Chains A and B, each alone.
Chain A
Amino acid sequence: MLILAFLLAGALLGWRLRYRRRWLHAADRATTTAVFLLIFLLGFSVGGNDAAMAALGSLGAQALALSLGALTGSVLLVWLVERWWLPTTETDEK
């Protein structure tokens, strides 16, 4: 839950800085750096973990199955939304 406190604190600061483009741009670049660092560290901890390395293939298979489930479910639900609740989106397009 501490994670969310950091997120909210950032959002408050971001709101105050919303017209300062240079600050927002700097934050955006720092975000990219943090992401790369964290992904590297995630890889590092997997690489040092023999059990995780041995399971890499089955982790990939699980990821593929979950990804297909997520895609099918969301496309289906939004298809229903489009059909029943948003009838105007097709007709008023000219």
Chain B
Amino acid sequence: MKSSLLILACFLAGLLGGALGRVPANWSIETLTLAALYALLFLVGIGVGGSGGAWPMLRRAGARILLVPLGVVVGTLLGTAVVAAFLPGVGLREGLAVGAGFGYYSLSSVIIGQLRGEMLGVVALLANIMREMFTLLATPLLARRVGRLAPIAAGGATAMDTTLPIITRFSGNRYGVIAVFSGLALTVLVPFLVTLILTAGI
């Protein structure tokens, strides 16, 4: 919660700066953004490769645990496809790309902003921050009324860090392992899936 508020503050500061300040020659901002994005992807890669120690956890839990992140992927894409079909101004590809952030708002919004323009980047930022906030708010209800895995599904990629404490509190500590695994799998998937959805030629 604290970090998503910080991100929002950062976004608002940029918004204010862009609206009030003189925009310097456009290419310099674009070049800076692109360089920072490549640096970010490289750094995210280091984090992912460095957590290679997580694989034994998967072995212990068994292959069926894969059904959880798989369900999140399929469900998220179906849900956003339905919304995109009814929402004027949002194409299927764009809707799916926003959904494929799975709550990982920072990475998904900058990739989408780069590939499809800042408007969709903003939608991705807000939609994925909302996903995290709704998960934090709805977890008690979801765990009691729908099932122990429901908060893990709602949390998406955030189930491994920001929403993990509330998930283990209401679903039980046993579900912590599933939450971390599902969140990690989705986190790794985000850059691939978002890029693929927006660039694949179909």
Chain A: CB-nearest residue to B42: A10
Does the CB pair B77–A73 fall under 8 Å?
Answer: yes
Does the CB pair A14–B50 fall under 8 Å?
Answer: yes
Q: How far is the CB of A62 from chain B (nearest CB, A)?
A: 5
Residues of A within 8 A of B149 (CB): 78-79, 81-82, 86, 89
- The answer for the CA separation of A65 and B85 in the assembled complex, in Å, is 11
Residues of B within 8 A of A28 (CB): 47
Does the CB pair A4–B191 fall under 8 Å?
Answer: yes
The B-contacting residues of A in range 13-45, CB under 8 angstroms, are 13-18, 24, 27-28, 30-31, 34-45
- The answer for the CA separation of A34 and B38 in the assembled complex, in Å, is 10
Does the CB pair B125–A75 fall under 8 Å?
Answer: no
Residues of B within 8 A of A86 (CB): 64, 67, 149
Does the CB pair A47–B15 fall under 8 Å?
Answer: yes
- The answer for the CA separation of A34 and B106 in the assembled complex, in Å, is 10
**Residue picked from A42, A68, A89, most chain B C-beta under 10 Å:** A42
The B-contacting residues of A in range 47-87, CB under 8 angstroms, are 47-49, 51-53, 55-56, 58-60, 62-83, 85-86
Residues of B within 8 A of A47 (CB): 14-20
Residue among A4, A41, A60, A66 making CB contact with B192, cutoff 8 Å:
A4
In the assembled complex, 29 residue pairs joining A and B whose CB atoms fall closer than 8 Å, in A order, are: A4-B195, A7-B45, A8-B45, A9-B45, A10-B42, A11-B48, A18-B51, A24-B47, A34-B40, A35-B106, A38-B33, A41-B14, A42-B110, A43-B15, A44-B17, A44-B18, A52-B122, A59-B123, A66-B84, A66-B99, A67-B127, A68-B83, A70-B127, A73-B75, A73-B76, A76-B79, A78-B71, A82-B150, A86-B64
List the interface of chain B (C-beta within 8 A of A).
Answer: 6-7, 10-21, 23, 29, 32-33, 36-53, 64, 67-68, 70-72, 74-80, 82-84, 87, 89-90, 95, 98-99, 102, 106-107, 109-111, 113-114, 118-119, 121-128, 130-131, 134-135, 138, 142, 146-150, 152-154, 156, 172, 174, 191-192, 195, 199
